[in-house]
Amino acid sequence: HGMRIDVVTIFPEYLEPLNVSLVGKARARGQLDVHLHDLRSWTHDVHRTVDDTPYGGGPGMVMKPEPWGEALDAVRAAGPADQVPTLVVPTPSGVPFTQELAQELAARPWLAFAPARYEGIDRRVIEEAATRMPVVEASIGDYVLAGGEVAVLVMVEAIARLLPGVLGNAESHRDDSFAPGAMADLLEGPVYTKPAEWRGRAVPEVLLSGNHGRIARWRREQAFTRTLANRPDLVARWRLSAFDKKEREA
């Protein structure tokens, strides 16, 4: 059976993209079972309040603990009785969301995402949840968003494409830049398709040569040059893994 994903948010419509394309197809094939929940379902006041002023003062508002506590209780109760979900909390102060973390999360049967808004969720919600389920606080990058919903879209897409059978044979993640392996750690080189000439620009002739050894070498060089230019930090990691690889083959 596929993976179950629950998302609790005050903007369920923000997660509608999960119903289309790659993730939509995976759901249709039963590889992914996505349940969206409106956090306000667990408010009990006429204004359906989910936020309040921060203790200790400071700008903005903090998300109240009560609705989140009841929402996470309900998510757990609605899922498989013999399992606990891994709670994934997008936050600027989380661990980096990397391909490695995506692969780890893709191996789990049930994920519950808690995208917040305002300045975040009352800390006691995370602390209390962590006594009953694994909790991962992760950040998708070094920039500031207004909330966690778009981070959930990023994480779910990165995770869903790793699930067996989800990626059609048209897209392959075998040699992803960030996936461990041969061309691991390097950025992708340039890609080309027909026509062979377009607006006076020809495709590099090596790619038309049919010489697969030469093509592979050219692609490695292109990947290296591009990585050196755009991500010199990855070159160091690549050198290490290339060295280890030679060691293993020696």
Ligand X SMILES: N#Cc1c(-c2ccc3ccn(Cc4ccccn4)c3c2)n[nH]c1N
Footprint on this chain of ligand X (rule: CB under 6 A): 90-92, 116-117, 119-120, 139-141, 143-148, 151
Least distance in Å: CB of 136 to ligand X?
A: 11
Query: Phi first, then psi: what are they for 234, rounded to 5°?
Result: -75, -25
Residue placing its CB nearer to ligand X in the complex, 92 or 189: 92
> Among all residues, which ones are annotated catalytic?
92, 119, 161, 176
Burial of 113 (0-12, 13-18, 19+ CB in 10 A): buried
- What number of other Cβ atoms are within 10 A of residue 21's Cβ? 11
Residue placing its CB nearer to ligand X in the complex, 65 or 147: 147
Least distance in Å: CB of 188 to ligand X?
A: 23
For 119-153, the DSSP string reads T-B-HHHHHHHTTTS-EEEEES-SS--S-SHHHHH
Residue placing its CB nearer to ligand X in the complex, 105 or 184: 105
Least distance in Å: CB of 171 to ligand X?
A: 25
- CA 240/CA 250 separation, integer angstroms: 15
Collapse the DSSP code of 112 into the 3-class scheme (helix H, G, I; strand E, B; otherwise coil) and give the result: strand
